Chain A
Amino acid sequence: MSAPVLFDVPGPKAQARIRIGSAVGALVVLAIVGFVLLRLAGNDQLDPQRWAVLFDPASGVPQALGEALLRTLQVALVGMVFATLLGLLLAAGRLSDHSWVRIPVTTVIEFFRAIPLLVVIFALFFILPSFGIRLSAYAALTGGLVLYNMAVLAEIFRAGIMSIDKGQREAAFGIGLRKSQVMTLVLLPQAVRRMLPVLIAQLVVLLKDSSLGFIIGYFELLRQARSLVEFFIPRFGDQYTFQLYVGAGLIYIIVNVLLSQLAKYVERRGRRQKATVATEPIRMPDENAPTTTGI
């Protein structure tokens, strides 16, 4: 935020007011944090022994959470790769000149965008077997993530391809390239390059959504935390419940913040190199800020 357009650079009086406001605001925030900590302490939730479980290898907790994080990352990465590939195919299909390609592809995209991921995963795991197709929990979760995200990514890719300057396409046709060549040699490489930050941001979404594996019992991070809670309850009561969930939540936040930072870094680098890329900064028809895709 270099030169704000929404307000004048504050003068001395305004600055003094802002400083007072800042101090009051900071005090309020501190008071809230203090209140929360006090209440937590009042309920014995801050007892170091209760938090130690997260770091004590003898309890098996750090190992279990670490392995679960790996499983979560694995599902997200594998899902991301397949969702990207299928998303590209679907985007190309939706931009096709042939209506017999365009219409079914559009239907598939809209269908998967309209139903909750939880329902997709559930259906893959519990309903496909009635048709003789058996999937493991891992395959069902990954499959659900792929189906859902390929539809989301297809729309992002389509927007990206359409955002590329018309001249590129015309010039490519002009030098005699075929339709498929225009797409694969000229349009896609530029679009994908522009969309790298969006793709990384979508990985954050996949990572978060992998927590929906709980419905079919895949042992990703959150389900693992819950399983540990269940393991401890008959032995120690609920004294570790809060800690384990906070631990799992923090792991998600840390990993995802790192990924988001990576996305921002890639975005900044891309912007610096803008001169070398013949595109407008990407403007999604349905999304103005590239890094705010998934929810």
Chain B
Amino acid sequence: MQFLIDNFPLLWDAFLTTLSLSLLAGVLALVLGTALAAFRVSPIPPLRGLSTFYVETFRNTPLTVVFFFIIFGLPQIDFSVGFFTGSVLAVGLYTAAFVCEAVRSGINAVSAGQAEASRAIGLTFGQSLREVVLPQAFRSVVPPLGNVWIAMVKNTSIAAGFAVSELTASMQRLSNANAGELVLVLVAVVVGYMLITLPSAYAISRVERRVAILR
């Protein structure tokens, strides 16, 4: 117990780092992913192609490889980013591909009549997407987006290998220094992740029930 109290500041900092990394990457992924989904259903073929290419590339690449390219690849084209910023970028860009897929499936789930009706009353593509389709789509994608969010929180653990002192890095550090306390270290870190994932899961199911559309 004393061990945990002694190392509480370290673990708390690590927890906050994981949380802020998740939140920032989450915003990036949500914005970019939604834009990509809009591209994916847009009338302009190159935009559709670009979005498909993006999604297929990121979905099929391990996140660790994405990290390598952002942290050590970007300097090769003379862009250098900090480790935390780089991690936000890596996690955000990677997750955007999954957000895009989730939102797109949501768009597809909106009944065709809605889109046809909005076209019939003369809305443009942008208007019908913004005013009619996306608001409904977002309601039906709350659960898959929630899953993506939880998966993303867990994926931030990979930043441990790239000089970000988040929870998993603190686990490595503490277990190296205190080989006798391995189990305690593990429990502390697992609790740290659950402090984010379990309330998220609960909130998602609440929101899901509230916004669900009965069809």
Which residues of A line the B interface, CB within 8 A? Answer: 4-8, 10, 14, 18, 21-22, 25-26, 29, 35-36, 39-40, 42-43, 45, 113-119, 122-123, 126-127, 130, 204, 208-209, 211-212, 214-215, 222, 241-242, 245-246, 248-249, 252-253, 256-257, 260, 285-289, 292, 294-295
CA distance A245 to B73 in the complex (A): 9
Contact partner of A22 (CB less than 8 A), chosen from B45, B129, B141, is: B45
Contact A116 B41 (CB under 8 A): no
B98 beta carbon closer than 8 Å to chain A: yes
Contacts of A286 in B (CB 8 A): 143-144, 146-147
Contact B197 A114 (CB under 8 A): yes
Contact B59 A249 (CB under 8 A): no
| Majority DSSP secondary structure for residues of B touching A | helix
Given the interface contacts A256-B60, A285-B143, does A295 sit within 8 Å of B157 by beta carbon?
A: no
Contacts of B151 in A (CB 8 A): 294-295
Contact partner of A21 (CB less than 8 A), chosen from B44, B59, B63, B112, is: B44
Q: Apart from A7-B128, A116-B155, A215-B172, list 18 A-B contacts with CB within 8 A.
A: A4-B41, A4-B43, A6-B41, A6-B128, A7-B43, A7-B125, A21-B44, A26-B46, A43-B78, A123-B186, A211-B62, A222-B62, A249-B68, A252-B60, A256-B61, A288-B105, A289-B104, A295-B147
Given the interface contacts A6-B125, A18-B45, A245-B69, does A252 sit within 8 Å of B61 by beta carbon?
A: yes
CA distance A118 to B186 in the complex (A): 12
CA distance A194 to B201 in the complex (A): 27
Closest beta carbon of chain A to B92's beta carbon, Å? 13
Closest residue on chain B to residue A42 by CB atoms: B78
* A-B contacts at CB below 8 angstroms, number: 177
Given the interface contacts A26-B46, A242-B72, does A252 sit within 8 Å of B65 by beta carbon?
A: yes
Interface residues of B toward A: which range?
35 or more
Which of B65, B108, B193 has the largest count of A CB atoms less than 10 A from its CB? B65
Contact A114 B106 (CB under 8 A): no
Contact B61 A39 (CB under 8 A): no
B214 beta carbon closer than 8 Å to chain A: no
CA distance A29 to B112 in the complex (A): 32
Contact partner of A260 (CB less than 8 A), chosen from B60, B72, B129, B183, is: B60
Contact A119 B43 (CB under 8 A): no
CA distance A294 to B144 in the complex (A): 11
Given the interface contacts A5-B115, A115-B154, does A18 sit within 8 Å of B50 by beta carbon?
A: no
CA distance A286 to B128 in the complex (A): 26
Contacts of B119 in A (CB 8 A): 5-8
For residues 134 through 171 of chain B, which have their beta carbon under 8 Å from a beta carbon of chain A? 140-141, 143-144, 146-148, 150-152, 154-155, 157-158, 160-161, 168, 171
Contact partner of B44 (CB less than 8 A), chosen from A25, A122, A257, A288, is: A25
